[in-house]
Amino acid sequence: MRVVLVVLSIFFTCNYSFGFMVSSDNFKKEIKILKELDIDPKYINDEYFLQLKNSRMDTTKQEFINTITKEYKHAAIIKDVLKQRGAPNSLLYLAIVESKLSNRATSGAKAAGIWQFIPSTAKLHNLNIDKYVDERRDPLQATNAAIDYLQRLKDRFGKWYLAILAYNAGEGKLSRAIKIAGSDDIKVLLDSKQKYLSLETRNYLRKIIMMAYVANDRDFLISTDSSMLNSATYIGIERVEIPGGISLHDVASTIGFSVDKLSKYNTHLRYSFTPPNRDKYYIYIPTIKKEEFLARYKAGEKTKIYNTKKGDTFEIIAKKLDIKTSDIKRYNNIKQIKANYKLALPANAKTIYEYQVKKGDTLGAISRKFGVEVSDIIKANSKTNMKLAIGENLVIPH
């Protein structure tokens, strides 16, 4: 086996040294990528990495092309932010390995967004997560937070490739691995026999390097697919502030958009309205629509919000609030009702009052408190019995 690996190493070294101009050009770019990540250029001939590269490069290339074809907008946004912040361009490929650049990505460990932040790390880097927003799903905010985090890791460990390893494994595990290995050299830390780091973490860095190789490969750069990485291929976005509790429907209508279209620019909003518990909050609109927005948008009343209950349907809610079912669908960009969801309502919806059930409450006590018949409360909340749950929100008819 050792002989085979040596032969492979010689083959690839010779291929780089005596191959066609394309291979020579790629060789220089690959060395540049390694240096950008503070990796010793000699790693280009690492036996295990060459094996992995030889067996996985075609698959990696296809994964890369599929990702940027689907998520080219996010790729362009990240490239722009990395350039503005002076961070290595190769960090884009970390995001691809993490989530395939999907803002909707969620892991079993409750990590979310393009950069797969867990809640505690997100909050540490000033990303807000509450019942109305999840800024891990904001590509601009999350990218800046990821750069802050990676820069801090780089400052601690001294090299970009170590920052990447820590991003995956955690600072504590990387520190222990370096201490046990007695070195922070990449070949030592990624040693497949000593296993100072898990296989997932070892291959994590290798995948990122291979992604960077693919993106800088001469054949790829002259292909039509490479245009997807060009910032000019997407419409820029602009951050604007509007009051809290404003329906996206009201904003969208001023710039000739649907709620569905505007929602795609604002995946950090959990609902189709800005958080009602804040005086102001931001949304994104296309840059080409900014002048139209500034000229036409005037903040109106806060949207009315309805908390859906088990058993609710469009028809039940529409009848209850004296509005059309089409209005509910249009304002919220939804096709079906799910329980415990907050709906935005048009201004002509009937005003509703809600009461949160407390310990010791009964329907009788609540009916006396508000001067409403028990039967009316049951009907308004589509309840099938008299049971109440602490924290439950009841609609109080009037």
Average pLDDT over residues 90-110: 95
Query: pLDDT band at residue 385, thresholds of 50, 70 and 90?
Result: confident
Please state the separation of Cα 94 from the chain's center in Å.
Answer: 13
Indicate if 272 and 213 belong to the same structural domain: no
Of 311, 303, 302, 398, which is closest to residue 355 (Cα–Cα)?
Answer: 398
The number of folded domains in the chain is 3
Domain check: are 143 and 191 in the same one? yes
Residues 39 and 136 in one domain: yes
CATH value at residue 344: 3.10.350.10
Q: Are residues 252 and 389 in the same domain?
A: no
Confidence of residue 222 (pLDDT cuts 50, 70, 90): low
At 18 the pLDDT is 38
Q: Which residues form the domain of 279?
A: 232-296
* Strand-strand pairing, 280-286 and 237-243: antiparallel
Q: Which of 219-223, 269-273, 309-313 has the lowest mean pLDDT?
A: 219-223
Where among 241, 261, 296 does a domain terminate? Answer: 296
Q: Which residue has better confidence, 16 or 106?
A: 106
Average pLDDT on 48-52 reads: 93
CB contact at 8 A, 206 and 52 = yes
The pLDDT assigned to 124 comes to 96
Q: Is 297 left (phi over 0), alpha (psi -120 to 50) or beta?
A: beta
Banded model confidence at residue 19, pLDDT cuts 50, 70, 90? very low
335 sits in which H/E element: none
Is 51 within the bounds of a domain? yes
Do residues 31 and 44 touch, judged by C-beta distance below 8 A? Answer: yes
Q: Which amino acid is at 37?
A: L
Given this model, what pLDDT does residue 2 score?
53
Which residue type does 378 have? I
Mean pLDDT of 149-178: 98
* pLDDT reported for residue 5: 45
The confidence score (pLDDT) of residue 353 equals: 79
Residues 141 and 196 in one domain: yes
283: nearest Cα among 327, 329, 252: 252
Going by pLDDT thresholds of 50, 70 and 90, the confidence category of residue 231 is: low
The reply to whether 164 and 180 lie within a common domain is: yes
Please state which of the ranges 31-45, 160-174, 341-355 shows the lowest mean pLDDT. Answer: 341-355
Confidence (pLDDT) at 300: 81
At 138-154, the pLDDT tens digits run 999 999 999 999 999 99
Asked if the model's pLDDT at residue 103 lies above 60, the reply is yes
156 and 44: one domain? Answer: yes
- The CATH code of the domain that includes 33 is 1.10.530.10
Q: What is the pLDDT of residues 318-364, one digit of tens each?
A: 988 889 999 899 899 888 898 889 999 988 888 777 888 999 999 99
CA–CA gap between residue 100 and residue 211 (Å, rounded) = 11
Give just the sign of the alpha carbon dihedral 37, 41, 45, 47: negative
Give the mean model confidence (pLDDT) for residues 295-323: 89
Structure token digits, residue 310 = 């088990």
* Residue 98: pLDDT over 60: yes
- 140 and 106 in a single domain? The answer is yes
Domain termination site, one of 279, 296, 313:
296
Range with lowest mean pLDDT among 82-86, 104-108, 203-207, 375-379 = 375-379
**Is residue 247 domain-shared with residue 318, that is, in the same domain?**
no
Query: What Cα–Cα distance (Å) separates residue 344 from each residue in 192, 303, 338?
Result: 54, 6, 14
The shares of helix, strand and coil residues in the chain, as percent rounded to the nearest 5, are 55, 10, 35
State the chain's mean pLDDT as an integer. 89
Structure token pair of residue 148: 């802050």
- The last residue of a domain, from among 265, 296, 327: 296
Q: Are residues 98 and 211 in the same domain?
A: yes
Confidence check: pLDDT of 3 > 50 = no
Which residues, listed in sequence order, are joined to residue 117 by a DSSP beta bridge? 112
pLDDT-above-90 percentage for the chain: 68
Would you say residue 36 has pLDDT above 80? yes
- How does DSSP assign 74-106, residue by residue? HHHHHHHHHHHHT--TTHHHHHHHHHTT-TT-B
In the chain, the amino acid numbered 142 is A
Q: Note whether 292 and 344 are same-domain residues.
A: no
